[in-house]
Structure 1
Amino acid sequence: MCRFWDLTLMICFSVSVMFVGGDNMTELPPPKNLTFIWETPFRLSLTWEKPEDLDHSCRVNYTVHVYSSQDCSGKSNSKRVQTLGCKLEVPNENGLCISVITNPENCEQRRNSQPMNISIAPPSVMLVKNRSNEYSHSKMKCTWIPVVDVQDLSLYYWLPRDESIKKCTPDKTIKTRGCIIHDKSLKEAMNIFYLFNGTYNGTSVSNAFKDERPVDYVKLNKPQLTIHRDEQKLLFQANGSDLDEFTKECYTYQYTISNCNKKETTLDIKSQHEVQYDPACKYRARVQVIFSKNCGEGSSDPSDEVEYGEDNDPKLPALLAVIIIPLIVSLCLLVSLVLLRRHKDIIFPKIPEPSLLFKDMLINNIRTPEELQSPAAGRLYIPFEEVVESRISLEPDTPFVPTMKNEAK
């Protein structure tokens, strides 16, 4: 029990000592006379003096915070140095705010100082907007839209590994304002800086910009897609014309395949993709080459759509047979009846009635039972006598006696 109370008292004492000691800590003084100078449009030289009232035994270092605005708030890039100055590779696009803080190394009962800030105004005129970059095979295509009318507007670029600033020659083939940088160092560069320089209202104006590494703006050519059938599988083959600058692991292929009103998007590390083939479906497919994030960023435009097969219903033949065959039979029967009605006299000609002779032969050949027992059963056919009416009358012959009128006299 005593040990428990002793341990509790020790903990309370230690905590109280920490709080008391913390209250006795004082801030270090900030650095003095913070100044800057632009050595180049992209390199800022920052200097300051050692803080006042600093013990000789107290060793300190400094933390420099750089904000991309005139307000020292938000996200910043930090850098810790031991000297009374540093050089910063930073563009002045929207103005800058730089803050320097004194940090203790072996100073007892001392903590960080308050920041010493300095503000840098942005350029008086913004020359361009909507900048875009496209990298491919040691070439960087840069385009922009002018904000103000500057006749002598020029673009310069600088890579941190180089000492000199180089000019980008305008390209007349680009419809909008732009130029193409040809430099073998682009592929390995970690950053690239741009400087637009021109004369506006009689005053020289410049705008500096900083972009990420060029391989973060990779633009690949539009691939071509072909479709082949291999037994029960359908093979999709993507063919690119500029996939030789980086290793195969840097390229991925996004296939968009639709069949039977179903759409599916698949990401594949291979240029060939296969699916099970359904003969009842029509396939429509596109492919897009994506530059892997392990190597950079970028992509190509989607390929033209390629089609394969036709949309068919597997039950359609049986359904058509059930519907069409009875319909055809009914139609044929109807046509036959119409033709039969129209040509019945030809198909079924009229048989003429037999003459009296044939009727008589049939009647006389009918034998009664009595006639069968008569020896005259085998008599020949005796035709009936035909009665012919005669209306001819004969008159006796009388001589012709002429009458004489003169005899009376």
Structure 2
Amino acid sequence: MNPPAERGCNERVSTRAGRSARAQRRPRPALRSPVPARRGGAPRQPFPSVPAPAPQPSPAERRRVLMAAAGLLALLLALPGAPSPGARWTLPPPSNVRHSVDVRHCQLTVRWDPPKPGINHTCALSYETVVWTDGKDDNSREYDVKRSRSVTVDLGKEIVFGVRTECDKIENVHGDLFNITLQQKGLPGTGAINISCIWHNEQYITCSWKAGVNATQNSYNLFYGYVDQPGVQQCTNFSRDRNNFRCTFSYAKSQGTSMLRIVFEGNSEDVRPVCVSGKKFPVKLHPPSIVNISKDSNGVFLKWSKPADRKNLVYGIEIKDTATNSLENDTSDDQTSKSIGLKPNTRHTLRVRVKPKENSESIWSDWSEEAIWDDRETSDNTFNILLYIFIPFCVAVLTIILLVYLKRIKLLILPKIPDPGQVLKKMFEDQSEELQKQSTYDPVKDEQIHSLMLLEPTGNEV
């Protein structure tokens, strides 16, 4: 028990502390302005009241709050399957990842098992898969709970398959990608290059390619099939010109909804197979033919035939001025005739080509045969007509003259040279005949006698 003096001192201290505490709890009146109001005017506005400062927690209270937060954090860290704060929770990758390749079908199949060790049962596992082709991801990402995936790939290019685990119950919780770089058959640089496939008139496809830069004297075979069908066919309409190859196979318009896969294989295991799949091939239609060209008020009216029984076509028209060799191009959307303005008194040639409008990968057809339009002056045309008639007439007359006088002309140009043997023979024959005549000649026997009468004049003749 405290002495009386100390008890009195303590009572005074506690009394002062109680009064100070009551004074702190008592609200303070608002401060008034020390400046009186102006005469005849409005009173001055008082200074705004200053709020009392909020009571600050004591150091002991702060320590208690920090200890409670640390205990809660330790409890969270002790829970199974909970990520540490400030760090990303990385799930283990799938285990026993294996793959296989079906070359003829351009198909890659990858299978895997769940990660080891397993994850808490509260995390439902799913898998994200992706395929990179030459470093590009062409919308190939998939999310599924299955532990396998089959995908059509372009063999001959760099193929990387990636898979990682994800947790559906916890947001943004997943593992790192487990990547597989596909090891392909054959030697690098031996596969087909510069591949170009064109769908002609939506009836047949022609593919052309060249041998790889590291290929030797090996040949290639082309196999084709549909992505959604298991069958594979070999292209037999095959041709080769040194290192240039070409093959054509049927592919009708009714089959155009099915995606093709085309495989270029070598006749040796050293040649790396190349796949082209899952793409639309450019369409090249047959060229149209010009039906009629006639004069109208604008210039000429050109009409051509439609190359195929289809719509949404665009036509290209080429107009050439033969005098200046200048070219003009025009288009016509799904119309088989058009009025075209031309320069008067000039010779022009016109031709037409076509391509489908809806397919951006389509290419122009070959040009049609040229149609000639010549509206130069009539005198020039008359002269040309007369010239065309006169030249054949002159040729005919000269031919007749040559046929009639051919023998005489031939003798004049090539005179006949006598045969020396015949001349000498004839000369000797003539001489022998004269000698025979002289040897048998008798002048007395052959002399003829004639009577002669001699008359003497009498003088009485007149």
The counterpart of 2:147, out of the listed 62, 84, 97, is 84
1:273 aligns with 2:338: yes
Other-structure match for 2:392: none
Structure 2 unaligned segments of length 5 or more: list them. 1-82, 378-462
SS at match of 2:207: strand
1:118 aligns with 2:180: yes
SS at match of 2:227: coil
State the alpha-carbon separation in 2 of the partners of residues 303 and 185 from structure 1. 23
SS at match of 1:67: strand
The counterpart of 1:37, out of the listed 77, 93, 100, is 100
Other-structure match for 1:194: 262
Other-structure match for 1:12: none
State the alpha-carbon separation in 1 of the partners of residues 136 and 196 from structure 2. 26
State the alpha-carbon separation in 1 of the partners of residues 330 and 203 from structure 2. 31
Is the alpha carbon distance of 1:199 and 1:156 closer, same or farther for their aligned partners in structure 2, counting shifts above 3 Å?
A: same
State the alpha-carbon separation in 1 of the partners of residues 175 and 336 from structure 2. 58
Other-structure match for 1:220: 285
Other-structure match for 2:128: 63
Give the residue type in structure 2 aligned to 1:274.
Answer: S
Give the residue type in structure 2 aligned to 1:181.
Answer: F
State the alpha-carbon separation in 1 of the partners of residues 337 and 356 from structure 2. 16
Other-structure match for 2:234: 167
The counterpart of 1:156, out of the listed 223, 226, 236, is 223
Other-structure match for 2:112: 48
Structure 1 position 142, deviation (Å): 2.0
Task: Indicate if the aligned counterparts of 1:255 and 1:266 stay in contact, CA closer than 8 A.
Answer: yes
Aligned residues, how many? 282
1:252 aligns with 2:352: no
Q: Encode CA deviations 1:288-323: one digit per residue, 9 max, x unaligned.
A: 2012234862320233443423478xxxxxxxxxxx
Structure 1 position 276, deviation (Å): 4.2
Structure 1 position 253, deviation (Å): 0.5
Structure 1 position 277, deviation (Å): 5.5
State the alpha-carbon separation in 2 of the partners of residues 270 and 185 from structure 1. 22
Structure 1 position 81, deviation (Å): 2.3
Is the alpha carbon distance of 1:186 and 1:142 closer, same or farther for their aligned partners in structure 2, counting shifts above 3 Å?
A: farther
Is the alpha carbon distance of 1:281 and 1:55 closer, same or farther for their aligned partners in structure 2, counting shifts above 3 Å?
A: farther
1:104 aligns with 2:167: yes
1:182 aligns with 2:250: yes
Task: Indicate if the aligned counterparts of 1:92 and 1:123 stay in contact, CA closer than 8 A.
Answer: no
SS at match of 1:300: coil
Give the residue type in structure 2 aligned to 1:100.
Answer: V
State the alpha-carbon separation in 2 of the partners of residues 295 and 109 from structure 1. 41
Structure 1 position 47, deviation (Å): 0.9
Structure with the higher strand share, 1 or 2: 1
Structure 1 position 110, deviation (Å): 4.5
Give the residue type in structure 1 aligned to 2:231.
Answer: S
Task: Indicate if the aligned counterparts of 1:44 and 1:89 stay in contact, CA closer than 8 A.
Answer: yes
What is the TM-score when the length of structure 1 is the normalising length? 0.59
Structure 1 position 212, deviation (Å): 4.8
Is the alpha carbon distance of 1:144 and 1:262 closer, same or farther for their aligned partners in structure 2, counting shifts above 3 Å?
A: closer
Task: Indicate if the aligned counterparts of 1:190 and 1:213 stay in contact, CA closer than 8 A.
Answer: no
Task: Indicate if the aligned counterparts of 2:206 and 2:246 stay in contact, CA closer than 8 A.
Answer: yes
What is the TM-score when the length of structure 2 is the normalising length? 0.53
Structure 1 unaligned segments of length 5 or more: list them. 1-19, 313-409
Structure 1 position 109, deviation (Å): 5.3
Is the alpha carbon distance of 1:164 and 1:206 closer, same or farther for their aligned partners in structure 2, counting shifts above 3 Å?
A: farther
SS at match of 1:299: coil
Give the residue type in structure 1 aligned to 2:107.
Answer: R
Is the alpha carbon distance of 1:234 and 1:117 closer, same or farther for their aligned partners in structure 2, counting shifts above 3 Å?
A: same
Give the residue type in structure 2 aligned to 1:154.
Answer: N
Q: Encode CA deviations 1:69-121: one digit per residue, 9 max, x unaligned.
A: 3xxx444432332201111111321231111132332x225523211101113
Task: Indicate if the aligned counterparts of 2:318 and 2:327 stay in contact, CA closer than 8 A.
Answer: no
Percent identity, aligned pairs only, is: 18
Other-structure match for 1:369: none
Please report the RMSD computed on the Cα atoms of aligned residues, expressed in angstroms: 3.3
Structure 1 position 173, deviation (Å): 9.7
